[in-house]
Structures are given as C-alpha cells and as structure tokens.
C-alpha cells in the first residue's frame, strides 16, 4: 500500500526524536557534548550555520557519517525547515545511531529566534579543484581545508629549513605565512634554499620568498619581517600567529624564540641540521619539554659550527624542513600524534631514523612550574656558557 509524502513524513516524525531550537541553545550554552550535523546543500550552508556544525549534505549522509560521528554520540541534525533532517534522522537510526534527533523548524527557526550563527569558510570551485586531494581525506575534508586557509604560521628563516617548509605549507593552503629573515639571497644559498633563484641574488630573502610563494598559491598571504629577531621585537612578530617553525641557525635566536613561545603559549617546531645529520621535535607549552630542557646550555662553538663553517648536504634541510611542515599541518588540523616529548634524528649517509624520548626538566629555568620567563638577548649567555 503506497503512502503520500505527507503520510511518510508524519510516520517518520513519530519514529524519531525532535528537539526545539531552545533545547539546542541550552545544550550549547551548557557545553553539553553534542554534535550538530547540517544536512543542507552547499549554497544553503554558505549562508550561515549553527555554531560548530559539521556539514554533510543529505545526499552524502550515509556515505560520510561514519567518518564524522560515532554511533553513540549525541547528534542533532538540521536542515532549513526540519523535513530533510527528520528523514535523515530515521536513516541514521536504521544505521545503528542511538542518540540522534532532528531540529524542529530547522535553521529557519533557529535564525528567527536570533540565536548565534556562524559564517563558514566555503571553498570556491577553484579551491575545491586545487585542494581536491585534501578534500577526499576524511581527516581533512572541507572543514579541515577551511581551517588551514584561516591558519597563520610564522617561519623563522627563509633558508634551508624555511624554504621547503614554506613551499609545502603554501601548497597545502595555509592562509598566512609570516617569514622572518634579515639576509639577502647569496649564490651559495641556492644549493639548498629552494625558495630563491639565481636571478634574485642580492634581493632580500623575505621578498624573494614572497614572490615564490605567491606564484605557487595566490590563496596565501605572505607577511615579511626583514629584521633580526631580538628581545625587543620578538613578541610583536609572534603576535597573531598560531605556531612557529624554527629554522634558525644559531643558539641565541633559538633560546629567545623558545622563551617567547612559552610566554605566548605557541607551539615551537624545532629543526636543526649539521653536515649529514638532522633532527626535529615539537615543543608545545605545558605539554612537554622546551628547548632549554633539551639544551640547558649551548655546546661549545667547535661542536656546533654553522653550515658555512661545516658544510651541509643540500637535500638534508629539505628532509628536516618537510618534517617541520608535517608537524605544523598535524597541529593545525588537530590530527595525528605530534612529536611532543620525542626527538627524531636522521642520518642521511646511512638513511637511518632514530627516535629519542625527551623529558621535561623539573628544574628548567623557563618552563618548570612557577618559572618566570624574562626575554633577553642570549649572545652573552651563549658566550659565557661556551
């Protein structure tokens, strides 16, 4: 016996649980664990969404819901008026989702009540084509790509480590890249610093980097800082960025950056290279050790010469810089396991990786409980320690 759509909808609403806009508002205000699923089409979603809602168009719901929600999560589905979400709720019940409800009256009733809405970042058709390989990854998708486009990463140095990191973060669609470097392009840089070209010799590295990045991806805004990092400017430069990639080549700058990141609570993604060897780790304030825990005092100069003094295999900074970029993407997307409390070393001659555990120093002068960080320029500290 066939049924009309009205009869089907009426029967559906008897089978499912409906919640009012007021109910959902109380849940959100109380920060009750609840996942909002927007089942409208893309053009509707672009006009506004409930705060924090996940977008899964109704036509893709059965295909994508398992990537976005567990069967025992509290789910509230909504559409424009409550019809599509009711039918979707019944479908999820049949799939084994036990705590699913439909928002009565949908987005329209929520909006009419003047409850808060968000304007989501919606990818353009060109962006969807550019980032297609990201969008098909459940761990990224459109929501993750939108996060990347809104993210801001600061790179200390546009040299051997900063070059590959900047290129791949720009290609991935990280929306803002700050680059700190006071140097100019030298021919000896070109063996490893792939941001720059022969024709740009003598140009400021930050301007050369900006030209390369903007040519690669016009979505990316480059903020150049043609200055040396000091205790006077470090907090100003770090302000507004989500995390920092440390591509510095000297201990005073690394110590200063470490202290500033601790003060501002920003992750500091450290990488360093020496001849045929490199290392990388991630320092997240409050979650593990800091740079001073790893190096309480700098080694003597003869044990840590610069690349200009000791040389470096050209591809090595590319490998380490890409590890730093990988760490940045994981932190920005909130996926995977960052290298917090772990140091990865790489031997290019033997093609061997090794992982070492790092522990927080309970007596660290800058990150131990109760420690007070004061910014200083570390040249004198490093000279006296050596």
Catalytic site positions = 307
**Torsion angle (degrees, nearest 10) of CA 250, 256, 262, 268:** -30
Rounded-to-integer distance, Cα 169 and Cα 153, Å: 9
Q: Is residue 276 within 8 Å of residue 345, measured between CB atoms? A: no
E strands present in 181-329:
221-225, 243-246, 268-274, 277-283
Q: Which residues lie closer than 8 Å to 116 by C-beta, 6 or more apart?
A: 51
Rounded-to-integer distance, Cα 80 and Cα 83, Å: 8
Query: Cα 374 to chain center, whole Å?
Result: 28
Q: How many CB atoms lie within 10 A of CB 363?
A: 9
Nearest to 42 by CA among 123, 110, 115: 123
Rounded-to-integer distance, Cα 77 and Cα 85, Å: 5
């Amino acid at each position: 016996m066939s049924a009309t759509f009205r009869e089907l909808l009426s029967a559906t609403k008897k089978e499912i649980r409906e919640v009012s806009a007021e109910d959902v508002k109380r849940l959100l205000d109380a920060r009750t664990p609840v996942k909002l699923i927007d089942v409208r089409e893309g053009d509707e979603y672009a006009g506004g969404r409930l705060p924090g809602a996940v977008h899964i168009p109704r036509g893709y719901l059965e295909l994508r819901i398992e990537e976005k929600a567990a069967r025992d999560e509290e789910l509230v589905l909504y559409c424009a008026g409550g019809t599509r979400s009711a039918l979707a709720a019944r479908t999820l019940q049949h799939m084994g989702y036990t705590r699913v409800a439909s928002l009565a009256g949908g987005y329209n009733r929520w909006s009419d009540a003047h409850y808060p809405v968000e304007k989501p970042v919606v990818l353009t058709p060109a962006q969807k084509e550019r980032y297609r390989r990201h969008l098909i990854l459940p761990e990224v998708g459109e929501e993750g790509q939108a996060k990347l486009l809104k993210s801001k990463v600061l790179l200390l140095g546009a040299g051997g480590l900063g070059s590959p990191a900047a290129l791949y973060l720009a290609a991935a669609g990280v929306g803002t890249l700050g680059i700190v470097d006071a140097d100019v392009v030298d021919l000896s840089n070109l063996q490893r610093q792939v941001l720059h070209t022969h024709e740009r010799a003598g140009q400021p590295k930050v301007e050369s980097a900006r030209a390369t990045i903007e040519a690669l991806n016009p979505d990316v805004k480059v903020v150049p800082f043609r200055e040396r990092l000091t205790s006077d400017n470090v907090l100003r430069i770090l302000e507004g960025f989500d995390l920092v990639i440390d591509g510095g080549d000297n201990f005073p700058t690394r110590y200063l950056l470490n202290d500033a990141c601790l003060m501002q609570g920003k992750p500091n993604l450290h990488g360093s290279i020496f001849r045929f060897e490199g290392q990388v780790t991630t320092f997240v304030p409050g979650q593990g050790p800091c740079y001073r825990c790893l190096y309480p005092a700098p080694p003597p100069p003869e044990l840590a010469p610069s690349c200009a003094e000791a040389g470096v295999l050209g591809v090595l900074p590319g490998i380490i810089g890409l590890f730093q970029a990988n760490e940045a993407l994981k932190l920005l997307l909130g996926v995977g396991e960052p290298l917090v409390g772990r140091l990865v070393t790489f031997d290019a001659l033997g093609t061997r990786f090794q992982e070492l555990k790092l522990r927080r120093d309970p007596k660290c002068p800058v990150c131990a409980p109760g420690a007070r960080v004061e910014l200083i320029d570390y040249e004198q500290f490093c000279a006296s320690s050596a």
